[in-house]
Amino acid sequence: MSEEILNQNESATNAMTVTESMKSDLLCAAKWAKFLCIVGCVGVALMLLEAVAMMAFGAVAAKLMPDMPFGAAMGVLYLIIAALYIYPLMKGFQFANATKVACLYNDQYQLARGVTGLKDLIKFTGILTIIVISICVIVIVFTILFAAIGIAAMQH
């Protein structure tokens, strides 16, 4: 198949050919991306409802049990997570919708727009992954440090 594509491109210096098989694969990926984005939107909506409920019940619980003011904080954390999730959902929809149009109508501009959405989605996910791994490493280091200090304090 690669030879077939290379032979088609001999006359065009910087052109790239998208075969019917590639279009089929892109359409399949676009459909799955759209499905995942719809499920993600439902998840964000549920997360927002949960955040509001946590903040409301957290306020009531804080009055009843002043030692446990975590409900409101968890609600705010859920709001932050939901807000972070909106950008990748938008980029996923951009990939899905533009790629579908590109494949159905042979629209190179829409294909470029779709690929840009996919790039942005993967880049965002990669950066977020680096941040989460960094936070995990910091938590592990501080846990070991505080455990060592606690053990040392117990021995004296």
Q: pLDDT tens-digit profile of 87-107? A: 999 999 999 999 999 999 999
Integer Cα distance of 83 and 42 in angstroms: 13
Residue 56 C-beta-side C-alpha neighbours within 13 Å:
6
pLDDT tens-digit series, residues 8-26: 544 456 788 999 999 999 9
pTM (2 d.p.): 0.78
- What integer is the mean pLDDT of 131-140? 97
pLDDT higher at 136 or 66: 136
Nearest Cα to Cα of residue 122 among 83, 80, 87, 82: 87
